[in-house]
Chains A and B, each alone.
Chain A
Amino acid sequence: SQQGEEDPQALSIQEGENATMNCSYKTSINNLQWYRQNSGRGLVHLILIRSNEREKHSGRLRVTLDTSKKSSSLLITASRAADTASYFCATHTGANSKLTFGKGITLSVRP
């Protein structure tokens, strides 16, 4: 069963705009991670936020976590055509647990 659910399912924006993607989850987590997948290729880890953190930055990426609402958001600022990909959130619930992935968000950035 899916722990994380991303929203929206698909997002289309113009190059230079910001892209915001959301993830909601159901149970308490140890950390939440965001991954990117270019078409037909393996997932690449982008950023991790621990349950005791509220915000984290990495380059043009900003991720927030609200454990009271069981939700996270990923913001990509100043988007580029090369950001076109699918983005997945994944939740980690314990030291010996697995990651549970959402179904993904398809982001299209128009040049």
Chain B
Amino acid sequence: DADVTQTPRNRITKTGKRIMLECSQTKGHDRMYWYRQDPGLGLRLIYYSFDVKDINKGEISDGYSVSRQAQAKFSLSLESAIPNQTALYFCATSYSGSHNEQFFGPGTRLTVL
């Protein structure tokens, strides 16, 4: 969905490096989410934000941090990447006035060596 963009799309990094994944949206949605997807485990929520300055931990927030710089931007950081953070990462948005239907970005494939 071109309304939700993620950069980079692919990244290979080494253990211990700091990595930032960025998400931007033009949908005007107030809520944004970061998920990771691993084979056989489905999507797991890392962090979510219901508005600027609102940050909430998801089920697997350890080792990650986020920043909601503006309503349209939500970035995910791995302060010191480790191999088990190798996964497909998705950003998603939703509108608080809806039934929480979410719109996903194309994903970032992160490999930590």
Contact = CB atoms under 8 A, between A and B. Distances in A.
Contacts of A92: 99-100
A90 B50 CA distance: 19
A103 interface: yes
Nearest to B50: A96
Contact of B43 (A41, A48, A50, A101): A101
Interface string A75-111: 0000000000000101010001111111110000000
A42 B99 contact: no
Interface residues on A, range: 20 to 34
The residue among A35, A90, A98 with the most chain B CB atoms within 10 A of its own CB is A98
A98 B45 contact: yes
Given A31-B99, A92-B99, A98-B33, A43 B104 contact: yes
28 contacts: A1-B59, A31-B99, A33-B99, A33-B100, A33-B101, A35-B102, A40-B88, A40-B109, A41-B106, A41-B107, A42-B90, A42-B105, A42-B107, A43-B92, A44-B104, A45-B103, A48-B99, A88-B42, A88-B43, A92-B99, A98-B45, A98-B48, A98-B58, A99-B100, A100-B45, A102-B42, A103-B42, A104-B42
